[in-house]
Amino acid sequence: MLNMLDSSLEAFAQLPKSDPVALSEKTDDNYTRTPPTGGLVLKAYTRCLDDDLSPAGEAGTNTDTYRHNGFGAATDHLWVTADEVAGLATLTGESPLPSPLARRIARFHLVDSTRGEPPHWRPEEIRSLDLTATPAGDATVRIAGSFHLETADGSRGYTGQLLGTVSLARGATVSAVKVVALGDHWGEGRYTGGARPGKTPLAVAFTLADPKKPADRVPPQGIRWEQGYYQP
């Protein structure tokens, strides 16, 4: 890789000077997504674990098959709307996590993305989803619950619990997020072959992103259909 970069830079330096090409400012709305105004961007990290909660295997690519072995932390982003954030900030007692947010988390983020683009859960594949939000003092909201996601034929599924906290600062802004889903995952998708056999631990950690960084503004994988992402 370094050799390729060096030779490319050398070739670039040999190119004759040319006038800059005028670039169109037009963008394709089909592929343009921006984080929700006043909302929240969370990192969603997914990793295969061993039973003792240590990371499974070694991250990287199998040099025999050139297939990603799925033992690294996969990254996605969860977008939360301003209304959903305000709802958390004004809780007075234990409440179900609003359905759109709970279903968004389940369908698009409780997935095994460790070996590439995973299939997202269809609405009917949510066998059960019970997530609650509870004020826990000191401007903290506790998120807890369980989930059971499974295809009709049972060939792919993920069952487990979700637990953690959302910390609020003044002005109902979120200052920290520490939420994790942990459970057993099994099966693989069309583009995510090579899953470990049987039911194995998979964790998804949610933490605050920094939307000022370009890399943190990359849209969620599940937002191809924007309305479907926000109202799953």
Q: Which residues are near another protein by CB under 8 A?
A: 5, 8-9, 12, 20-21, 23-25, 27, 31, 33, 45-47, 49, 51, 53-55, 59, 72-73, 75-77, 117, 160-164, 178-184, 191, 197-205, 207, 213-215, 217-221, 223-224
Looking at beta carbons only, is 39 or 160 nearer to another protein? 160
> Judged by CB, which is closer to another protein: 55, or 100?
55
Q: At closest approach, how far in Å is the CB of 183 from another protein?
A: 5
Q: What's the rounded Cα separation, in Å, for the pair 125 and 167?
A: 31
**Nearer CB in complex with another protein: 122/213:** 213
Distance (Å, whole) CA 102 – CA 99: 5
Q: How far is 152 from 224, CA to CA, in rounded Å?
A: 24
Q: Is the Cβ of residue 100 or residue 119 nearer to another protein in the bound state?
A: 119
Residue 18: CB minimum distance to another protein, A: 10
Query: Residue 86 belongs to what H/E stretch?
Result: helix 82-89
Smallest distance from the beta carbon of 156 to another protein, in angstroms? Answer: 15
Min dist. Cβ of residue 5 to another protein (A): 7
Report in angstroms how near the CB of residue 73 gets to another protein at its nearest.
4
CA end-to-end span of the chain: 41
Contact 165, 136 (CB under 8 A): yes
Q: Give the full edge-to-edge strand order of the sheet including 40-48.
A: 74-80, 40-48, 200-208, 174-186, 157-168, 140-150, 126-135, 95-96
- Give the whole-angstrom CA distance, residue 14 versus residue 17: 9
- CB 136 to another protein: min, Å: 11
Q: How many CB atoms lie within 10 A of CB 8?
A: 10
Alpha carbon 167 to its chain's center: 19
> Which residue lies nearer to another protein by CB, 87 or 111?
111
CB-nearer residue toward another protein: 27 or 90: 27
